[in-house]
A and B are shown apart, each in its own frame.
Chain A
């Protein structure tokens, strides 16, 4: 009797799969929320709620279940007309598969680092990589200058080159304890532990309330509880 039921179950599954593949060209969808929850600081409910946000962002331009650079810019700045050195850097860091698009897994794993409960070491790592523009394993003075100039330009602020140079001088004086003209991971870590406000962008309080911001996740929930 049990075997018969098993057989029926298999038959149904095969039929459904067949129809699924042909009739619906679905994006991969939320395949395994529990697995993602295990590997991030999110709970299963938070993963499901995050998926609602992901769906919203990823369908803005092309409804393919993936976030491309334009959709990312649109979500961040509410306009796709805004080029930003920093948004590019962030996108690249999210894109761990290096294929120019973000799937939900990459999205969730990256945002996990921004959760208030994420370990501070993860935040320190991520921010270091963010500022290491050329990805050489250290932050050069030239990279810092480039970022300062870009930020000031973005905000319509104009400071003379002298002033910018002196700000960077002061920063390196404090941060570059090995005096080699660059800031390595260790020096970054010490700097940030002395100035915790430098990590403020690495925490998004919104992530703590995500299940209340996107309550519709309960309608699509694949799990029983918690």
Chain B
């Protein structure tokens, strides 16, 4: 179960409250966040898929935390990435993806080249960027048992 965010959790995600900017160069960020309108189970299985494709070992911990680990030693040891899912509402989640060990540049490369493109269809917005797609919920939301809700697709 992903942990539930209270109002102060949300507030603490504001970049204005994060003084690490005083020490970090803008392009040396070790974490990124995005929002998603998908249920947690969809987000988790998406992350699992990506991990498998990138040949990362994935380990699901309690409370919506997924730990992913590279199999090869990089410049500063093995690259480990944590993805933590926070629930705002059952269909609105905030996901924080951060480097937990290894080289920051490698982390950024894997984010930019592999993860971001792969996450595209579940991401609503990336933190710090305006909402990019006018994406209405293309995926069917929670469909009850046996009903076929969508109209028949013939023509």
Q: Are A76 and B128 in contact (CB under 8 A)?
A: no
Q: Are A90 and B17 in contact (CB under 8 A)?
A: yes
Against A, the Cβ 8 Å flags (1 = close, 0 = not) of B78-92 are 000000000011001
Does A195 touch B at the CB level, under 8 Å?
yes
Which of B5, B7, B21, B125 lies in contact with A76, CB distance below 8 A?
B21
Given known pairs A155-B35, A155-B128, A206-B23, the reply for A201 and B8 (CB within 8 Å) is: no
Given known pairs A78-B26, A206-B23, the reply for A155 and B88 (CB within 8 Å) is: no
Does A148 touch B at the CB level, under 8 Å?
yes
What number of residue pairs across chains A and B have CB atoms under 8 A from each other? 111
Q: Are B15 and A77 in contact (CB under 8 A)?
A: yes
Which residues of the partner chain B approach A204 to less than 8 Å between Cβ atoms?
19-20, 22-23
Chain B at the A interface: SS class: mixed
Q: Are A151 and B14 in contact (CB under 8 A)?
A: yes
Q: In whole angstroms, how far apart are the Cα atoms of A151 and B125 in the complex?
A: 14
Q: Which of B71-109 contact A (CB under 8 A)?
A: 88-89, 92
Which residues of the partner chain A approach B129 to less than 8 Å between Cβ atoms?
156
- The minimal Cβ–Cβ distance linking A115 to chain B, given in whole angstroms, is 12
Given known pairs A157-B124, A163-B92, the reply for A86 and B14 (CB within 8 Å) is: yes
Q: Are B13 and A198 in contact (CB under 8 A)?
A: no
Does A144 touch B at the CB level, under 8 Å?
yes
Given known pairs A155-B13, A171-B8, the reply for A114 and B19 (CB within 8 Å) is: yes
Q: In whole angstroms, how far apart are the Cα atoms of A28 and B9 in the complex?
A: 40
Does B16 touch A at the CB level, under 8 Å?
yes
Given known pairs A130-B17, A204-B19, the reply for A144 and B12 (CB within 8 Å) is: no
Q: Which of A144-164 contact B (CB under 8 A)?
A: 144, 147-148, 150-152, 154-159, 163
Does A200 touch B at the CB level, under 8 Å?
yes
Q: Are B35 and A157 in contact (CB under 8 A)?
A: yes
Which residues of the partner chain A approach B135 to less than 8 Å between Cβ atoms?
none
Residues of A within 8 A of B (CB-CB), count: 45
Q: Are A167 and B5 in contact (CB under 8 A)?
A: yes
Against A, the Cβ 8 Å flags (1 = close, 0 = not) of B27-67 are 00000010100000000000000000000000000000000
Q: Which of B13, B14, B24, B26 has the most CB of A within 10 A?
A: B14
Residues of B within 8 A of A (CB): 4-24, 26, 33, 35, 88-89, 92, 124-125, 127-131
Q: Are B20 and A206 in contact (CB under 8 A)?
A: yes
Residues of A within 8 A of B (CB): 53, 57, 75-78, 84-90, 111, 114, 130-131, 144, 147-148, 150-152, 154-159, 163, 167-168, 170-171, 174-175, 191, 195, 197-198, 200-201, 204, 206, 213
Which of A85, A87, A201 lies in contact with B12, CB distance below 8 A?
A201
Which residues of the partner chain B approach A154 to less than 8 Å between Cβ atoms?
14-16
Given known pairs A155-B125, A163-B89, A170-B6, the reply for A148 and B19 (CB within 8 Å) is: no
Q: In whole angstroms, how far apart are the Cα atoms of A171 and B9 in the complex?
A: 10
Which of A90, A152, A201 lies in contact with B10, CB distance below 8 A?
A152
Please name 14 further chain A to chain B contacts, defined as beta carbons within 8 Å, in addition to the given A84-B15, A154-B15, A156-B130, sorted by A numbering. Answer: A75-B21, A86-B16, A111-B19, A114-B19, A144-B8, A147-B14, A152-B10, A155-B128, A156-B128, A171-B8, A201-B17, A204-B19, A204-B23, A213-B23
